[in-house]
Amino acid sequence: MDKLREHIRLMVQTIVTIVTNGYVKGFATGKIYTGDLKKVCVPGLNCYSCPSALGSCPIGSYQAVIGDRQFKFTFYITGFLMVVGSTLGRLVCGWLCPFGLTQDLLYKVPFIKKIKRIRRDKYLRYFKYIILLVFVLILPLFVVDIIGQGSPVFCKWICPVGTLEGGIPLVLLNDTFVEAIGFLYIWKITILVLTIVFSILIYRPFCKYICPLGAIYSIFNGISLYKYKIDNSKCIKCGVCSKACKMNIEPFKTPNHIECIRCGDCKRVCPTAAISSGITMVNKEKKEHNSSEI
Amino acid sequence: MNKIREHINKVIFILGIGFMSYGLYRGEIDIVFQKAIKICLECIGIG
């Protein structure tokens, strides 16, 4: 049953990745999808320059709009992130992000010794907020060319997703791109290789320390509609959930911690089934409580 | 405390819908679309 639950998450992640990257023709032609679906953002990190991508990346789109001469703020993408964040929080990271799936699979690659927690982990977690602030919100707004267009700084200099999903396949499929390879491409390949190596050693290093989208959704984790709940009458505070948590949080103390990606490992291992999850409302909880009292 | 959180959640959700609608109204979706249908050379490490 536990294995089945683990596989359900893997299946959902795979299905979401396939559905949002359903333009298989792109890999045959070396071109990207240009239909109307690209007007809509996907919830996870998924480069829109991937030959198979059907939707837009929210982080890329955010930089595109604020980097445009017309707008200095994007209501469309901010609103989208608010709706998704207030509904699901970081459930997106654990269940709906293609790059999350990539890292999950890489962590399954056997290695002599996996690193459970790196030094200064607690402080390094804040690095993703700096990345969000500097590379997504500030630099694309202020570093502009002569016609006032900003550059997608995060996508250009940091994001390994664009290299993996777009850079490598498009260079392999287009000879003209091969001729254009320079320092930036080598830099991005280096970042990708480092991300892959670290993902084998550490569970989801990109989500923990770098991802600006995870940083945004983490802000909503405490108030999102989907949440985790501890039944204090059942919890024996054994700490088994903390040991099982690959994001290194203590679910029995803070079930809706900003770092929780809702993977469900804690629920699976809890010996007393004290952890539950779902979309809960205070009024509904009160009604249930009252009816149980009656 | 939970009730406050629920109210905050509702406010953010409604505000989010409002933001999205206003963004659509002022044409931000065209910028997203124009960017997404062309290969972003910076994103793939070429430009």
Whether residue A274 is predicted with pLDDT greater than 80 in this model: the reply is yes
Q: Which of B30, B44, B26 is nearest to A152 (CA)?
A: B44
Note the pLDDT of residue A281: 55
Interface confidence (ipTM) of the complex: 0.96
Q: How far is A16 from A284, CA to CA, in rounded Å? A: 30
Structural domain ending residue among the three candidates A172, A194, A219: A219
Q: Are residues A74 and A202 in the same domain?
A: yes
Inter-chain contact B2–A282, Cβ cutoff 8 Å? yes
Note the pLDDT of residue A284: 53
Q: Are residues A168 and A62 in the same domain?
A: yes
CATH code of the domain in which A261 resides: 3.30.70
- Residue labelled with tokens 């999102």: A224
* Residues ≥6 apart with Cβ < 8 Å to A119: none
Closest chain A C-alpha to B46 CA, distance in angstroms: 6
Closest chain A C-alpha to B39 CA, distance in angstroms: 5
Q: Which of A228, A223, A226 is nearest to A245 (CA)?
A: A228
Note the pLDDT of residue A292: 45
pLDDT digits (tens, 9 = 90+) for A158-201: 999 999 999 999 999 988 899 889 999 999 999 999 999 999 99
Q: Write the single-letter amino acid at A264.
A: G
Between A3 and A14, the higher pLDDT residue: A14
Closest chain A C-alpha to B36 CA, distance in angstroms: 6
Note the pLDDT of residue A1: 61
Whether residue A293 is predicted with pLDDT greater than 70 in this model: the reply is no
Other C-beta atoms lying within 10 Å of the C-beta of residue A130: 12
Report how far apart the first and last C-alpha atoms of chain A are (Å, whole number).
34
Tell whether B1 is within 8 A of chain A (Cβ): no
| DSSP classification of residue A94 | I
Spell out the SS3 assignment of A123-167: HHCCHHHHHHHHHHHHHHHHCECCCCCECCHHHHHCCHHHHHHHH
Structure tokens at A145: 């060319």
Q: Are residues A160 and A281 in the same domain?
A: no
Q: Are residues A287 and A213 in the same domain?
A: no
Q: Are residues A158 and A242 in the same domain?
A: no
Q: Are residues A49 and A183 in the same domain?
A: yes
* Average pLDDT estimate for A88-108: 97
DSSP three-state, residue B4: helix
Containing structural domain, residue A35 = 2-219
Q: Are residues A139 and A64 in the same domain?
A: yes
- Give the count of Cβ contacts less than 8 A between chain A and B: 160
Q: Are residues A7 and A123 in the same domain?
A: yes
Q: Are residues A202 and A253 in the same domain?
A: no
Structural domain ending residue among the three candidates A219, A239, A264: A219
Whether residue A254 is predicted with pLDDT greater than 90 in this model: the reply is yes
Whether residue A285 is predicted with pLDDT greater than 60 in this model: the reply is no
Q: Are residues A32 and A159 in the same domain?
A: yes
Inter-chain contact A86–B40, Cβ cutoff 8 Å? no
Inter-chain contact A65–B31, Cβ cutoff 8 Å? yes
Q: How far is B3 from B19, CA to CA, in rounded Å? A: 24
* Average pLDDT estimate for A77-106: 97
Indicate the average pLDDT of chain A. 92
Q: How far is A53 from A43, CA to CA, in rounded Å? A: 13
Q: Which residues of B touch A33 (CB under 8 A)?
A: 37
Helices (H), A134-281: 139-142, 153-157, 160-161, 168-173, 175-179, 183-201, 205, 212-220, 240-244, 265-269
